[in-house]
Amino acid sequence: MAEYETILFEPGVIARITLNRPDRLNSFTVLMHAELRDALANLGDSRVLVLTGAGRGFCAGQDLNDRAVAPGKAVDLGDTIQSCWNPLIRTLTGLPQPVIARVNGVAAGAGANVALACDIVVAARSAKFIQSFSAIGLIPDSGGTWVLPRLVGQARALGLALMGEPLAAAKAEEWGMIWKAVDDDALDAEVGAIAGKLAALPPLGLAAIKEMLRSSWQYSLDEELERQAGAMRRLGFTEDYREGVAAFLEKRQPSFKGR
C-alpha cells in the first residue's frame, strides 16, 4: 500500500480515507489532490468508502497558501477547478461504491461541497457547513451551485451562498441537505452501522441505484421508465438477485458476491 503525506488510506471491504492535514483543517493542496486521486483509483474490491477528516475539522476547502497570489497578480482559478476539483467531484459521484462522508467538524468552501458530493452524509452535531466563497468574491464550486438548490431549494441555496453563514449540522439535516446529524460521541457508531449495512448488500444493485438516481435529472419520466426497465432486466439476471430471493424464501442471511 502506498504511503501518503496528506491522507490516510485504509483499504478493505469498508475502505476509509482520512484527509490528514489537521493543522490546516484538512484544506487541500495539489499534493493532497494527487494522493486522494491515487487512493480513489485503488479501492479494489471495497464495497463502501468512508471519507473523513483528521482532527477537529472535515475539510476547509482549498489551502490558499498553496496557490498564494501576490497583491495585484492574477491567477487562473479555472485551471485549478478543471485540473483538481472537478475530477474529484466526478470521481466521488461516479464510483460504483456508496461513499459515506463522516463530517466530524467544520466543512467549508469546497470542503462542504466535497461532503455533499458523497452519497450519504453523517455529521456530528458540532459540525457546520459553510459556503464561504462570497467573502472572497467567488462562487460555490466543486458542484456547489448544482447540488445546493437540488438539496435545499433555490431560496435556501441563495441564502447559504450569498451570506456565507455557517449552517449547523442539525439544521442541515432538517433542510434535507444531509442524511443525519448525530451526537458527536455517536458519530463513529452511526457511520460504522451504515457502512456495515451497505457492505452486506448486493454491490451491483447499490451501484445501479447510485447511477440511476444521480443521472435521473437529465431524463423525462418516460425515458426514466425505460431506463428502469433496462436496469431491472440486467439486475434480474445477476447471481446476487437469485441469492437474495433464495435467502428470503429460505429465511437465512444472504451472501452477495457482486456477480
Tell me how far apart the terminal alpha carbons of the chain are, to the nearest angstrom.
26
In whole angstroms, what is the distance from residue 114 CA to residue 101 CA?
A: 9
Beta bridge pairs of residue 98: none
Instruction: Mark the ranges of the chain whose per-residue pLDDT is less than 70.
Output: 1, 67-72
At residue 250, what is the residue type?
Answer: E
For 9-53, the pLDDT digits (tens) are: 999 999 999 999 999 999 999 999 999 999 999 999 999 999 999
Q: What is the pTM of this model?
A: 0.94
Question: Where in 20-75 does DSSP place strands (E)?
Answer: 48-53, 57-59
How high is the pLDDT of residue 150?
A: 96
